[in-house]
């Protein structure tokens, strides 16, 4: 858990590729992901290695805790030996593992220190979450223009043919007089109903087709669809 907190903080501080909003939530998401993945690796690889090292050093050199820590770092880096740029991902948690383990060992594993060992990363997580939440910038309002841009961003979709803003378009497609309209209506906090309406006419053949989507910052979902699909879409 301590490794997850440290690496998550490292990933967020000074990283311009991550938006400066909701850093607290980003931090928690990163920390939990790293906690589960690194925790699984430590369980199946780190723990047996640690037990073996402790058994050997206790028999041969019981007072050399620095060797215990050094060998942990070596075997931690060995896990990523094929990729030198990732070796520190094995070395850092191995060092943390061995240092905390030796600290608890020297304290004779009494209940007070074990409790502190469990609670300290949780307290650190709360402090870091508060820190990243406080330094996060206020997210600007989600606009109707952004909602329309998101709804029309897909390639080779019907909505991609419509105006990319609240506007109308008129033209001729395969002899049909076509009119397309894009509209957006706010229906909640940072949520819009974006509607695309298309009418066409060619002699006595005419019709109207409409489709609407519920759009927020992170998703576009179909709300309703009605009318007849234009004949030129079927080709």
Banded model confidence at residue 85, pLDDT cuts 50, 70, 90: low
Q: How many beta carbons lie within 10 A of that of residue 122, not counting itself?
A: 11
Same domain? For 123 and 180 the reply is no
Which tokens go with 101? 């383990």
Q: Select from 213, 101, 231, 103 the least CA-distant residue to 154.
A: 213
Q: Mean of the pLDDT values across residues 214-224?
A: 90
Same domain? For 19 and 108 the reply is yes
Same domain? For 30 and 112 the reply is yes
| 109 conformational bin, left if phi > 0, alpha if psi -120 to 50, beta if neither | left
Banded model confidence at residue 127, pLDDT cuts 50, 70, 90: very high
- Where would I find the H helices in 13-46? 23-41
Which of 86, 104, 135 is a domain's end point? 135
Work out the angle at residue 173's Cα, subtended by the Cα atoms of residues 168 and 179, and round it to the nearest 5 degrees: 20
Same domain? For 229 and 114 the reply is no
Banded model confidence at residue 86, pLDDT cuts 50, 70, 90: low
- Residue 101 pLDDT > 90: no
Same domain? For 124 and 179 the reply is no
* Run of H or E including 205: strand 205-216
User: Strands of 205-216's sheet, edge to edge?
Assistant: 168-173, 176-188, 191-202, 205-216, 220-227
Q: Mean of the pLDDT values across residues 150-159?
A: 80
Same domain? For 163 and 216 the reply is yes
Domain assignment of residue 126, given as a range:
2-135
Same domain? For 42 and 76 the reply is yes
pLDDT of residue 40: 83
Same domain? For 100 and 181 the reply is no
- Residue 235 pLDDT > 60: no
Instruction: Say which residue, 89 or 173, is predicted with more confidence.
Output: 173
Q: Select from 132, 124, 95, 140 the least CA-distant residue to 11.
A: 132
Contacts of 22 (CB under 8 A, 6+ apart): 136, 139
Query: What's the pLDDT tens digit per position in 189-207?
Result: 889 999 999 998 988 888 9
Banded model confidence at residue 215, pLDDT cuts 50, 70, 90: very high
Q: What is the mean pLDDT of the chain?
A: 83
pLDDT of residue 210: 92
Query: What's the pLDDT tens digit per position in 37-72?
Result: 878 888 888 888 888 888 887 777 666 677 788 888
Please tell me the distance from the alpha carbon of residue 151 to that of residue 189, in angstroms, as a whole number.
17
pLDDT of residue 110: 64
What is the number of domains present in the chain? Answer: 2
Please tell me the distance from the alpha carbon of residue 148 to that of residue 164, in angstroms, as a whole number.
6
Same domain? For 129 and 67 the reply is yes
Same domain? For 131 and 148 the reply is no
pLDDT of residue 89: 74
Which of 76, 101, 135 is a domain's end point? 135
- Residue 183 pLDDT > 80: yes
Same domain? For 21 and 117 the reply is yes
Same domain? For 105 and 157 the reply is no
Which of 94, 112, 135 is a domain's end point? 135
pLDDT of residue 212: 93
């Amino acid at each position: 858990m301590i490794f997850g907190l440290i690496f998550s903080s490292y990933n967020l501080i000074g990283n311009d590729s991550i938006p400066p909003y909701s850093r607290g939530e980003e931090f928690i998401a990163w920390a939990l992901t790293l906690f589960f993945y690194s925790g699984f690796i430590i369980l199946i690889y780190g723990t047996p290695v640690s037990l073996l090292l402790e058994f050997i050093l206790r028999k041969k050199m019981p007072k050399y805790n620095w060797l215990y820590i050094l060998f942990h770092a070596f075997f931690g880096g060995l896990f990523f030996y094929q990729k030198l740029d990732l070796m520190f991902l094995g070395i850092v948690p191995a060092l943390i593992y061995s240092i905390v383990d030796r600290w608890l060992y020297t304290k004779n594993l009494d209940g007070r220190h074990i409790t502190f060992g469990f609670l300290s990363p949780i307290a650190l997580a709360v402090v870091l979450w508060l820190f990243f939440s406080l330094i996060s910038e206020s997210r600007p309002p989600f606009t109707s223009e952004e909602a329309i841009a998101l709804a029309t961003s897909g390639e080779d979709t019907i909505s991609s043919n419509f105006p990319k803003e609240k506007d109308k378009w008129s033209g001729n497609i395969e002899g049909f007089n076509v009119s397309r309209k894009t509209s957006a209506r706010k229906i909640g906090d940072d949520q819009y109903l974006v509607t695309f309406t298309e009418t066409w006419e060619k002699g006595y053949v005419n019709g109207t087709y409409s489709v609407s989507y519920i759009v927020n910052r992170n998703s576009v979902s179909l709300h309703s669809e009605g009318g007849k699909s234009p004949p030129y879409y079927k080709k």
